[in-house]
Structure 1
Amino acid sequence: MGNSNGIMNESPIPLYYQIYVDLKNKLLINKLVDENGKLPAEKELAESYKVSRVTMRQAIAELEKDGLIVRYRGRGSFLKSQPNPILHKLGLPGQAGRVRIDKSPEIVELSHFDTTYEHIGRALNYEGDIFFIKRIFRVDCNPVAINRIWIPAVFTPELDKKGLCVEGSLSKTLKDVYHLKIDRRKNVIEAVRPSVSDIELLKITYDTLILQITSKSFLKDNVPYEYSVTSWIGDAIRLEVDVEDIEHGITFLK
C-alpha cells in the first residue's frame, strides 16, 4: 500500500530511496522549497511521508550527496543550485549546449599506449599507438559526467607531453595545435548501469542510471580521428535532436 506521495511500503526498493527519488523530482520542477530556497523541516517531511526521521534523514543525505542541497546546522536544508538538467544538442560540433558545465574539466588521466582495444581500433580504422584521456565534467563543482577519449597518436604527436595546452580545452588544442577540425560526429546513445569506476568518480550509487553517449568524430575527408564515450548521470542531461519525419524514415537535421 502506498501513501499520498506514491511511496510503496511493500516495495523491495528501500523507503529512503523512494523518498529521495520523489524529493529530487519535485526539486527538478521547482517544487518543495520556499522563496528562499529552503526545504521543509526534516520533521515536517517525515510526517508528510509517514516515515521515521531516521528514514527521512537518509533520503535527505542522498540529495546532499547529489549536490542538490546544502545543510546548515540550526538553519535547515537549502537548494544549492538550480538542478535543471543540461541541454545538449546532439549533432552539433564542439560544446554547444554545455554552457553550464564548469570550465576546464578535471583531467584524471592522459596516457600513451602502444595498442588500444580492438573495438576502438576497428571504429577508427587504425592500428598503432594511441592516446587516452579521461576527464570529469562538473556543474557547480559537482561531477555530472565522465568523458573517455581515444585519439590515434599519428594525429596528435607528443600529446601526453604538451597536454591540453590551449586554455585547458581538448577541442581548441586539437584545432590550434594539431589543426584537426571536426566535420561531423556520429553518436550512439544508450542507457547503462555505472561501472565501479563511474560510481567512485561520479559519487553515485550502483542503481543510478547512466546515459552513455558513444561518439566517433570525422575530419572533412571522412577520416575518423577521435573515439569517445561520455557517461552522464541520467538526470543531469537532456538531449535535443532535430529530426524531419519523412515517409521512409527519419532524417536528422544539422
Structure 2
Amino acid sequence: MKALSVSKVRRFVQKTGASPVYRQVADLLERDIQQGSSRSERAALPSENELAAEFKVSRVTVRQALDELHRKGLIYREKGRGSYARSQHIGGVTGFGSFTSEVENAGSKPTSRVVNFVKVSSLPDGMKRHLANLPPNNRSYHCLARVRCADSRPVAYEETYLDTETYPGLERADVENGSLYAAMLRIWGYQPAWADAAIEPSVADEAIAKHLGIKVGAPVVVAWRVTSSEQDEVLEYVRSVYRGDGFALTVRRLKIS
C-alpha cells in the first residue's frame, strides 16, 4: 500500500472566504487524489490529525471534508484503518455493451441501484432524434432506471426501455439484482448481440446531478443506444448518462460478448 502523494507546499484555507472551510479542504484533497491516485495500488490519505495540522483546521472540519469526498465517490473508508483514494479513471467502456461486463473487464467492481421501474407509453424524444427505425408510437415499455456504479462510485444514470410485448410478465424483482442481460437470457432466451449508439455531450440537470453526486451543470456524456439480437430483434432502448470526470468512452460498433 502506498500513501497518497500530497503537495509539499503548505496549503492555506481562507477561513473568512465565501467557500466553507471544509469545502476548501475537500477541493485541495480532491486535486491530490486526481494527481496521485493509482489503480494498481490503493492510496491511503493522511490521518485526520495529520490533515488537521496541515490545514490548521479542526478535526471536525477535516471529517466534513472527508464526508464530502466520500459522498462524491472519491474515497472509501475502512473501519479502524483510515480513508483511501479510489481510482478515478475507468477506460475500455464503450457505452454500447453490458455495463457489468465492461466494468469487470476494466478491473473494477460493478454494482447497480434501481431507482425507478414504471410503465411508459413512449420513448424519450432524444431517442427519436438520434436513432433510426424506431417503432410506432402505439407501443408500451417497462422503463428501468438505475444508477450504475464502479467500485461503489456512481458513474452513470441509465434508463432502459423494454417493450412490454417482448418481455411479458417482467417485474422489478427480475431486474433488481445482477445483470439485465443475464436475466434476458435466463427468463426469455434473448441474447444481446449488436448495438448501435449515438453519443453527445451535455450537462447535468438537478436530477442527474443528484444521482451521480456531481454539481448541476457539470459536464456529462449521453449515449442513446438500441440493442438487438443476432436475428435483428430489438431487445432494448437505452439512455445512459455518464459523468464527465475520469470516465472514458470508446466509440465503435462492436459485437456484444
TM over 0.5: yes
Q: Give the partner amino acid of 2:51.
A: L
Aligned residue type for 1:170: L
Residues 37-61 of structure 1: per-residue CA shift (max 9 Å, x gap): 5422334334434556554343222
How far did residue 21 of structure 1 move? 2.8
Opposite residue 225 of structure 2, the aligned amino acid is K
Is the Cα contact below 8 Å between 1:41 and 1:76 reproduced in 2? no
Q: What secondary structure, in the 3-state scheme, does the structure 2 residue paired with 1:97 have?
A: helix
User: Whole-Å Cα distance in 1 between the matches of residues 204 and 248 of structure 2?
Assistant: 18
Measure, in 1, the Cα distance between the counterparts of 2:173 and 2:158. 20
Q: Which residue of 1 aligns with 2:113?
A: 106
Could you say what secondary structure the match of 1:163 adopts?
Answer: helix
Query: 1:133 & 1:157 partners in 2: Cα distance?
Result: 15
Q: CA RMSD in A?
A: 4.1
- Between the aligned partners of 1:175 and 1:61, the Cα distance in structure 2 is 40
* Range moving further from structure 2, 48-57 or 208-217: 48-57
Structure 1 position 21 matched with structure 2 position 32 = no
| Partner residue, 2:77 | 70
Describe how 1:125-140 pairs up with structure 2 within 5 A. Answer: 125-127=135-137, 128-140=139-151
Percent of counterpart pairs with the same letter? Answer: 19
The answer to whether the 8 A contact 1:208-1:234 is kept is no
Deviations 1:172-195 (A, max 9, x none): 333452535332221314242243
Q: Distance in 1 between matches of 2:150 and 2:193?
A: 25
Q: 1:207 to 1:14 in 2, by over 3 A?
A: farther
Answer whether contact 1:64 1:71 (CA < 8 A) is retained.
no
Q: How many residue pairs align between the two structures?
A: 232
User: After the TM superposition, which residues 56-205 of structure 1 pair with which residues of structure 2 at under 5 Å, given as runs?
Assistant: 56-67=62-73, 68-70=75-77, 77-79=82-84, 82-90=86-94, 93-95=97-99, 96-99=101-104, 100-102=108-110, 105-113=112-120, 115-117=121-123, 119=125, 122=128, 123=131, 124-127=134-137, 128-160=139-171, 163-164=174-175, 168-175=178-185, 177-179=188-190, 181-196=192-207, 198-199=209-210, 201-202=211-212, 204=213
Deviations 1:125-145 (A, max 9, x none): 332111111123234445443
Residue 120 of structure 1 contacts residue 227 of structure 1 at CA under 8 Å; is this kept in 2?
no
Say if 1:224 and 1:19 are closer, same or farther in 2 by CA, change over 3 A: farther
Change in Cα spacing, 1:205 to 1:28, as seen in structure 2 (3 Å) is: closer
Gaps of 5+ in 2: 1-7
TM-score normalised over the length of structure 1? 0.67
Q: 1:36 to 1:171 in 2, by over 3 A?
A: closer
- Following TM superposition, where does structure 1 have runs of at least 4 consecutive aligned residues deviating by more than 6 angstroms? 5-8
In the alignment, residue 232 of structure 1 is paired with which amino acid? Y
Q: Secondary structure at the match of 1:40?
A: coil
Instruction: Measure how far apart 1:222 and its partner are.
Output: 6.5
Structure 2 counterpart SS, 1:93: coil
- Checking the alignment, whether the CA contact within 8 Å between 2:90 and 2:246 is kept in structure 1 is yes
Partners of 2:37 and 2:238 lie apart in 1 by: 36
2:126, 2:63 → 1: CA distance? 45
Offset of residue 22 of structure 1:
2.7
Provide structure 1 residue ranges, at least 5 long, that are not aligned to the other structure: 242-251
| Greater mean alpha carbon deviation, residues 218-227 or residues 190-199 | 218-227
Equivalent position to 1:215, from 218, 224, 232: 224
Q: TM-score, normalised by structure 2?
A: 0.67
Query: CA–CA distance in 2 between the matches of 1:26 and 1:78?
Result: 14
CA offset digits 1:73-108 (Å, max 9, x no partner): xx67321x64343324316533453112335x3333
